[in-house]
Structure 1
Amino acid sequence: MDGVIVPPGQGRKLITKAQEVTFKVMGANGSSTSCFEVIVPPGFDVGAHTHSRSEEFFYVLDGELEVLAFEPTDRSGERWQDWESPRGDRAVRAGAGSCMFVPPGCPHGFANPTDRPTRMLFQSTPAPDHERYFDELCEIFSAGGTVDPEAVQRLRDRYDVNQITPLRYGPAPLQPSRR
């Protein structure tokens, strides 16, 4: 089997009002890891969640994200940005060059609290779970009108996404993190 070379701007694109995802390397390429370039719009908040099987890796290419990857002392409330770990860890602002690794079972989230899109590289193992998830999520977001939150939750239930705080895909203002 040959390797895969994907030039800048190339790959299979999914564009919704919530995100732009470009598939770079997929399970169909023989990879055990899916690799995507993701444009995260201002105000998007994936919400804190866990996966029992998936490992994820995020690398900020351009812009900033607010990120979290730890078990908090208390999972209550709708804002994961206010959580704190037993060691005192809190959500951080991650700029270009920052990365986050998330093992299975670890609560994590990311949000774009800025007024500009953020571009990140996202990898998920095993392939093709997140590929299928993004395909179906794109269908939900592209259905027109308002997004059906129950349809999103059913999708997340099928793809091992245990949602802890709400997914926000509108331009709702986010509070800056404490560094």
Structure 2
Amino acid sequence: MTDGLLAADGLLLPPGAGDRVQQTMTLKVGAEHSDIWSAFEATVPPGFDVGAHWHGHAEEIFYIVEGELDLLAFHPVTEPVGDWTTWEAQDGTTVFRGGPGSFMHVPAGCPHAFHNPGNATATMLFLVTPAGHEKYLAELGELLRSGEATPERVDELRLRHDIHQLTPLQNRPHTH
């Protein structure tokens, strides 16, 4: 206790627990428990490409637990269009293929993306600050289930949640 107030209890979850907010995303902690973070366990199927995008206010952390992902977290030298896996930063940085234990921090305003180039599902811990990214994922899921998910409506939803898409979300062929 501090100044007569009871400190908040933490949250303990066994493996596999949490709220499934999409087929591939399990919310571990979100705005209901924290003003600062939303944390997810995410599975990334082979070929999935989230598309390059940026956030004006959010910061993100990606930690690969299992599998491999191609990772991007830099401003490209050229106009950010086309295949983001070919982009290069001013200092020569290129897309990084990360395996278990690989880490990516994305500051606000930084273009970023991930893609599973392999033939096995990858698993990652995904953290977003401020909390609340689960609200976007829930709204996107509802929109997709409604059958009214036109590109324009998805773009409107993304912009309302500070997601500025540079290249499309897509499924790519496996590269290895």
Deviations 1:65-107 (A, max 9, x none): 1001011101343210000011110001110110100000111
Q: Does 1:29 align with 2:42?
A: no
Q: Would the aligned equivalents of 2:74 and 2:89 in 1 still touch at CA under 8 Å? A: yes
In structure 2, the CA distance between the partners of 1:118 and 1:147, relative to structure 1 (3 Å rule), is farther
Give the match for residue 162 of structure 2.
Answer: 160
SS in structure 2 of the partner of residue 4 of structure 1: coil
Q: CA deviation at 1:143?
A: 3.7
Q: Quote the Cα distance in structure 1 between the aligned partners of 2:134 and 2:105.
A: 18
TM score, norm. by length of structure 1: 0.88
Q: Does 1:124 align with 2:131?
A: no
Q: 5+ unaligned residues in a row in structure 1: which ranges?
A: none
Give the match for residue 20 of structure 2.
Answer: 13
Give the match for residue 148 of structure 1.
Answer: 150
Residues 1-179 of structure 1 aligned to structure 2 (within 5 Å) = 1-16=8-23, 20-128=24-132, 130-143=133-146, 148-168=150-170, 170=171, 172-173=172-173, 175=175
Q: Quote the Cα distance in structure 2 between the aligned partners of 1:48 and 1:141.
A: 20
Q: 5+ unaligned residues in a row in structure 2: which ranges?
A: 1-7
Q: CA deviation at 1:31?
A: 4.4
Q: CA deviation at 1:174?
A: 5.3
Letter in 1 for 2:143: I
> What count of residue pairs does the alignment treat as equivalent?
169
Q: Quote the Cα distance in structure 2 between the aligned partners of 1:63 and 1:112.
A: 8
Q: Percent identity?
A: 46
TM score, norm. by length of structure 2: 0.89
Cα RMSD of the aligned pairs, angstroms, is 1.7
Deviations 1:121-161 (A, max 9, x none): 00000011x111111122233345x9532222111111101
In structure 2, the CA distance between the partners of 1:175 and 1:73, relative to structure 1 (3 Å rule), is farther
Q: CA deviation at 1:175?
A: 4.8
Q: Quote the Cα distance in structure 1 between the aligned partners of 2:123 and 2:153.
A: 26
Give the ranges of 4+ consecutive aligned residues of structure 1 lying more than 4 Å apart after TM superposition. none
Q: CA deviation at 1:116?
A: 1.5
Letter in 2 for 1:173: P
SS in structure 2 of the partner of residue 39 of structure 1: strand
Q: Quote the Cα distance in structure 2 between the aligned partners of 1:4 and 1:24.
A: 9
